[in-house]
């Protein structure tokens, strides 16, 4: 008993107890926060697409989710894939390092064209300068594309395009999204895969308007070539 009393009187013991309580509270807070972001993000996408079928898969505990959406009666897009990766807010030991290296949550969207719309795309990219330097953000055919630097709401973006038609379409996309890119960091038209790729930071209040605008823009973009 004497030894046990001596242990509990050591300052290190109380620091250990305080750290344990702090980490437990941090885990609870981080789990709730990530779940709120996940629900808000996928809820916003569902409201925009109104799919006839959808499937969700956990790919990383509290930090990674994947979803497949099958649009209802869509002549041009057969499927939309969404991958959401979150900062490890539930782990206060790892979270600060993740903030320094990964910096923010990420939402990746991929719109797959139907056979009817296949071949309707020409390559083009609208990409944030800071994101273009990240690993995995390299544009494979950059040397074959025209490139312009532009200011968008105080952020520097690069506009890559294969021809004037693509340039006009991406400039119209920027105009539709407004004076500021908000959470958007990359829009990519990839004809080799018949897909539109999108990357944005999933800020709950901003996901729906951005996805809604991009979805409407993309439907209009592929409609005319698909009809001809």
What average pLDDT score do residues 63-89 get? 92
The Cα 169–Cα 140 span in angstroms is 20
Residue 15 is predicted with a pLDDT of 63
Q: What percent of the chain has pLDDT over 90?
A: 64
Strand pairing partners for 184? 200
Q: Using one digit for the tens of pLDDT, what is the confidence trace for 11-40?
A: 665 565 655 665 565 566 678 888 999 999
- H or E element in which residue 186 lies: strand 184-190
Beta strands in 18-152 (DSSP E): 53-58, 64-70, 77-85, 106-113, 124-128, 146-152
**Does residue 4 carry a pLDDT above 70?**
no
Residue 101 is predicted with a pLDDT of 73
The Cα 166–Cα 173 span in angstroms is 10
Structural domain span for residue 47 = 2-227
Contacting residues for 160 by C-beta, under 8 A, at least 6 apart: 123, 124, 125, 126, 127, 139, 142, 145, 146, 147
Position 2 confidence tier, pLDDT thresholds 50, 70, 90? very low
Number of structural domains in the chain:
1
């Amino acid at each position: 008993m004497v030894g046990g009393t001596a242990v509990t009187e050591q300052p290190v013991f109380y620091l250990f107890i305080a750290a344990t309580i702090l980490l437990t509270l941090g885990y609870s807070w981080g789990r709730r926060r990530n779940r709120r972001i996940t629900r808000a993000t996928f809820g916003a996408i569902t409201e925009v697409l109104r799919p006839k079928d959808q499937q969700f898969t956990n790919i990383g505990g509290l930090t990674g989710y994947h979803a497949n959406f099958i649009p209802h009666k869509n002549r041009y897009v057969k499927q939309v894939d969404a991958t959401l990766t979150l900062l490890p807010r539930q782990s206060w030991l790892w979270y600060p390092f993740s903030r320094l290296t990964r910096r923010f949550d990420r939402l990746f969207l991929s719109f797959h064209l139907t056979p009817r719309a296949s071949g309707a795309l020409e390559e083009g990219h609208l990409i944030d300068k800071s994101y273009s330097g990240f690993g995995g953000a390299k544009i494979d055919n950059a040397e074959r594309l025209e490139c312009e630097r532009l200011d968008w709401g105080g952020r520097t973006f690069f506009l890559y395009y294969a021809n004037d038609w693509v340039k006009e379409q991406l400039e119209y996309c920027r105009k539709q999204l407004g004076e500021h890119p908000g959470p958007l960091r990359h829009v990519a038209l990839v004809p080799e895969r018949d897909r539109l790729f999108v990357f944005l930071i999933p800020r709950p209040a901003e996901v729906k308007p951005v996805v809604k605008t991009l979805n409407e823009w993309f439907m209009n973009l592929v409609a005319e070539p698909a009809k001809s």
